[in-house]
Amino acid sequence: MEVIVGKYAGFCPGVMNSVTKAQEAVDKYEELYCLGELIHNKTVVTELEEKGMKTVDDINEVPNNSVVIFRAHGVKESIYEDAKNRNLSVIDLTCAIVKNIHEKVSSAKSDSFIIITGDNLHPETIGTKDFAGNNSFVVSVEEDIEKAYEEFIKSNLNKIYVISQTTFSLKKFEELVSLIKNKFNEYEIEINNSICKATELRQKEVEELSKNVDCVIVVGGKNSSNTKKLYDISIKNCNLVFHIERINEVNKDDFININKIAIVAGASTPKNIIEEVKEYFEK
């Protein structure tokens, strides 16, 4: 069996920074909290929790005067003020690209209606929308554009600023932008393709790999947006695709008569897990 591992599989720079800094922090502080999952990978989060980091879903679960990590996906703007008021020491591990998006929408909201393409339930998008303010709308599918238009008319603004969740599908972003331009054609529109370059390269690579193999193994968290996108791309081009978090989810009987296999992985998947999967299939 020929095994091909995607060139762009695994940690992106933002995730690498977050994990490295979190590991340093958990060794330094006796009591450490993380607001939300640091990254969308259970293995990484569990390892940090076993060392003492406590993951919480609400800032109010963090005791006053404690140390708290803000995860890679970022948090709402209001959370920063909450942390300050409660004298929390913040280790802000928000991805640099996400922080840049927060700055962009904060600046644009004074005179523009902001449309965010992405999953409205994703923590990154929730945070970005909070920074964008009331005159903003999350567009996930074509049907959302009409609702966005209605909210735009209510805002009495004349400009539209379009930005994206960093891990959104590039193809979907381009499709939605085309529809948005058509719907808002009477108004000034600024488009910012803020999809992470690593995400874009990974998606393009998987598009090609999945067309030329018998099977694709997508390795990464089941709750990882960018990993799910890789699965969605693969399943369109290849008949046999598996999304796994660890190698113990694999059944060897599924791979009889498979000659060529591609292993790809999301931005939150550690290198050692990718190697584990690679070694299994090489043997």
Q: Which residue matches tokens 């930005």?
A: 163
Q: Pick the catalytic residue: 2, 31, 50, 124?
A: 124
Measured CA to CA, the distance from residue 103 to residue 77 in angstroms comes to 11
Q: How far is CA 139 from the centre of its chain?
A: 16
* DSSP helix/strand/coil, 190: strand
Examine the residue annotation and report whether 124 is marked as an active-site residue of this protein: yes
Q: Are β-strands 89-92 and 136-139 bridged in parallel, bridged antiparallel, or unpaired?
A: unpaired
Report CA-CA distances (Å) from 2 to 206, 265, 281.
17, 18, 9
Measured CA to CA, the distance from residue 255 to residue 197 in angstroms comes to 33
Q: Are β-strands 159-164 and 136-139 bridged in parallel, bridged antiparallel, or unpaired?
A: unpaired
Measured CA to CA, the distance from residue 61 to residue 266 in angstroms comes to 30
Supply the residues annotated as catalytic: 124
